[in-house]
Amino acid sequence: MKEGTTIAAQAGERVPLPSWLRGLLDPLSEPVLLVGADGRIRYGNPSAGRLLGCSPEALPGLAVGAVLPDGEALLGRRQEDPSDTDAVRRDGGRIRVAVTARPGPEGLTQLLLRPVAEAPEGRLRESDPRYRAVVEDQTDLIRRFTPDGRLTFVNPAFCRYFGRSEEELLGSDFIRLIHPEDREVVHRQLAVLSPENPTTVTEARIPRPDGGVGWVQFVNRGIFDAEGRLVECQSVGRDITAQKEAEARIAEAREAVNRAARVTTLAIIGGGIVHEINQPLNAIRVLAETGLCLLVQADPPQADEIVAILSRISRQVDRIDSIVNHLRDVLKNSRNQRYEYCDLNEVVERALLLMDNRIQAHGIRLRLEKADQLPKVFGYSVNLEEVVLNLLNNAMQALDEVDWPHKEIAVRTWADDRVYLEVADNGPGFDPAIRERVLEPFFTTKSGSSLGMGLPIVKAIVENADGRLELADAHGGGAVVRVSLPIATPP
């Protein structure tokens, strides 16, 4: 049988629904049955299957009286006032429902079943206007429109949402109901509909009658003729304003955490800069004084030694220049980040440029083990450097809290099916009672000016790069923080 011909052709015959009708009814949140003139169910949507305790595929062919004892009396009738009855579930149980009936397409009767909450007293009855307002309220916004955007059908919920009557809406261009800045995006999303890909989801802002702006998500299905030409589109929508507002609040909170991360990282870098620049400055002062002595005391001046001293001063100036340029890159890239293929060994080297001397000034030995030919990872190189800086700073602060004769931080990289970075120290380790809380923003057990943002920053950066963060105790005492990142696939 060709799609679109009569559905209720023969008693008991299971004839499939037209795709446009199934696409319209399947997404509805309210249970719907379509019943033929012979009293047999031709279709039940997924919501009806859930209500009756079976899959929707099990409903076609059943006598409507087996599901609704009074169902046959409703066939071919229009009953907008709901009547209470018991629906029989497939397990034999019963559930109270309010039923409305109306003639449907192809000679079918559409039955809408709404569960009724049982309450001995104070129950709203069908004669109560409040009851009717509740049961007739629908949350799904349903529309159909032609390829040029003219609306051919809208349901009452759609009319209520847009504050217009059915007469005002039918024949109008639905795109005019959308916020002007979102219209082009919706046009592009609908343009991808094809017989091979008949559905698409659109989200757009909607100017509301009260002057506000809401967000609506529509699931759109294209209806195509035998030649594959788009004949019509049908959409089922829902208001997602609350979801969008929640996403905006989350984005604001994430931005606040990022600002705190910048402050923490810059504090670490600032401390590193002091140590890293002080060392070459001290070397320059010593070399300059040595050169002056040679010039004053030697007769004649020892030219070779003076040249060597000046060369060493030049190298120290180059080191300061490298540190300052690196800091400039960090600040610039933090505002203009981009994904790139990163060598984790190089990331570690750049972090140590800022932290090496500072760690040694705290009386801590630094041990570095880098794997050769480490596979690349994909991410923001500056963010990954922040990971190393924060892990080194955390380890250094932990060791500052103890009075060990031998303090050590070990940094190691290696790879198997992922790329790993591990920072371990021989400090006090993680307190089991608060191990989970150390990843919470602003939680700290350290004295002084610690913001408690080091590990939360690391966690956020690693997870954004599809990585994993593990906290463990080191063998023989201390803490281990292990980061694993997926190996980047070459372009």
**Whole-number pLDDT of residue 8:** 37
Q: Mean pLDDT over residues 316-328, rounded?
A: 70
Cβ count within 10 A of residue 78: 11
Hey, what are 228's tokens? 């594959």
Tally the residues of the chain. 491
pLDDT tens digit sequence for 217-232 = 999 999 888 888 898 8
pLDDT-derived band of residue 24, with 50, 70 and 90 as boundaries?
confident
Which residue in this structure is represented by tokens 């009672």? 433
Q: Are 454 and 434 in contact (CB under 8 A)?
A: no
Among 75-79, 128-132, 300-304, 362-366, top mean pLDDT goes to 362-366
Higher-confidence residue of 265 and 114: namely 114
User: Residue 174: pLDDT above 90?
Assistant: yes
| Mean pLDDT within 39-61 | 90
Of 276 and 468, the structure prediction assigns the larger pLDDT to 468
pLDDT of residue 414: 95
Taking the CA atoms of residue 151, residue 152, residue 154 and residue 158 in that order, the dihedral angle to the nearest 10 degrees is: 0
417, with CB counted inside 10 A (0-12, 13-18, 19+), is exposed
Mean pLDDT across the chain, nearest whole number? 78
Q: What is the pLDDT of residue 418?
A: 94
pLDDT of residue 434: 67
Nearest Cα neighbor of 107 from 36, 188, 199 is 36
pLDDT top residue among 7 and 68: 68
Instruction: Determine the Cα–Cα distance for residues 34 and 29; give it in Å rounded to an integer.
Output: 16
Whether the pLDDT of residue 456 is over 80: the answer is no
Distance CA 263, CA 256 (A): 11
- Taking the model in full, what pTM does it have? 0.40
CA distances from 181 to 143, 176, 178, 190 (A): 21, 11, 8, 16
Strand order from edge to edge, sheet including 141-145? 151-154, 141-145, 230-239, 213-224, 199-207
- The yes-or-no verdict on residue 7 having pLDDT over 80 is no
Assigned CATH for 141-239: 3.30.450.20
- Is the fold of 19-135 the same as that of 248-486? no
Q: Looking at 133-147, 193-207, 254-268, 335-349, which range is the least confident one?
A: 254-268
Q: Between these two residues, 334 and 406, which has the higher pLDDT value?
A: 406
Label residue 120 by pLDDT band (50, 70, 90).
Answer: very low
- Percentage with pLDDT > 70 across the chain: 75
Arithmetic mean of pLDDT, 375-390: 84
- Write the CATH number of the domain with boundaries 248-486: 3.30.565.10
CATH architecture of the domain covering 19-135: 2-Layer Sandwich (3.30)
Q: Cβ(33)–Cβ(67) under 8 Å?
A: yes
Q: What percent of the chain has pLDDT over 90?
A: 23
pLDDT by residue (tens digit) across 181-198? 999 999 999 999 999 988
Specify which of 80-84, 177-181, 322-326, 476-480 reaches the highest per-range mean pLDDT.
177-181
* pLDDT of res. 10: 39
Show me where the domains of the chain are located. Answer: 19-135, 141-239, 248-486
- The per-residue pLDDT for range 417-429, each reduced to its tens digit, is 999 999 999 988 8
Please tell me the least confidently modeled range out of 9-23, 36-50, 69-83, 200-214.
Answer: 9-23
pLDDT of residue 116: 63
Instruction: Tell the burial category of 268 from Cβ atoms under 10 Å away from its Cβ (0-12, 13-18, 19+).
Output: buried
Radius of gyration of the chain from Cα atoms? 36
Greatest mean pLDDT among 7-11, 84-88, 419-423: 419-423
